[in-house]
Amino acid sequence: MSHIRNIVVLTGAGVSAESGIDTFREANDGRGGLWEQHRVEDVATPEAFARDPDLVLRFYDMRREAIQTKQPNPAHEALARLDREWDGDLLIVTQNVDDLHERAGARRILHMHGEHLNAWCTACDVRCRWTGTLIDRPACPACGEAALRPDVVWFGEMPYEMDRIFAALREADLFVSIGTSGAVYPAAGFVQNAAALGARTLELNLERSQGSHWFDETRLGPAGRIVPAWVDEMLQ
Ligand code: BV8
């Protein structure tokens, strides 16, 4: 590992599964993943919000409340330790909208699909910390308008900080993907970008993902076990 200095880590719903947060495609309790309970196009698109804002706001109010009852797991804690102790470059790019990485202590982190605990005013464009509900149309703390929406990236919307992500991919010696099915773009394409830019690529996942064939190495198992083992390896 001596020549590895700059690392980009991509995380998905699988890294929060052991904290009791539903993944999108399959929840292992037979209830089906989030997308099984709600059609994506009914709850996670700008069109859905225009068509039935109550349905969308209730969907995110439910999830915003739920994540505040969950705790980081050993995978989040291991990545926070890597963040503290790795003296090369590190960027954790998460597709997750929960705050478990930060609650575990990670600091070099970027939420490319937004955050549950932020609200975004569509009148004055201000983003503010938000832990309550939006269904009751609360006033924006900055402009007073009742124009707040969840600060998450919906399908068809541009993910956040793509420039910063590609800048880190250009410098990366190692790209690691953790707990993601590789079904949603542009995140699912990062492994190909990283490989094309000369980085070594490693997948840590419960099962092979849609993009497994793009990775130099795949290690299968629950994130709570295989991520701490990988971080120990990197920091030994
Ligand atoms: C965009 C926020 C223009 C909201 C989310 C190219 C080809 C085809 C389609 C497209 C394309 N480019 C764009 C598209 C359209 C679309 C897309 O990808 N559609 C898919 C469905 C085909 N993409 C977009 O619309 C994106 N915007 O493209 O804008 C543009 C163009 C170019 C460049 C820039 C921009 C915006 C997409 C973002 C949508 N918002 N989330 C919310 O959360 O409600 S996406 C949301 O779903 C998540 O953030 C995440 O990204 C995705 C879910 O995926 P995962 O996190 O991977 O979760 P999943 O359940 O699928 O898998 C879990 C995995 O974990 C599994 O593999 C499982 O085995 C594993 N696992 C489970 N338990 C464990 C575990 N692993 C380890 N341990 C465990 N215990």
pLDDT at 28: 47
Q: Which of 3, 113, 116, 213 is catalytic?
A: 113
Token digits of residue 160: 């956040």
CA distance 216 to 191: 10
Ligand 1 centre distance from Cα of residue 16 (Å): 14
Ligand 1 centre distance from Cα of residue 1 (Å): 30
Ligand 1 environment, Cβ below 6 A = 12-14, 17-18, 23-25, 33, 44, 95, 97, 113-114, 152-159, 162, 179-181, 183-187, 205-207, 209, 222-223
pLDDT at 24: 76
Q: Are 219 and 202 in contact (CB under 8 A)?
A: yes
Residue 150: its H or E element = strand 148-152
pLDDT at 33: 60
Give mean pLDDT in consecutive 10-residue pieces for the chain, a chain of 236 residues: 88 97 65 63 90 94 96 98 98 98 98 98 98 98 98 97 98 98 97 98 97 98 98 97
Q: Are 125 and 25 in contact (CB under 8 A)?
A: no
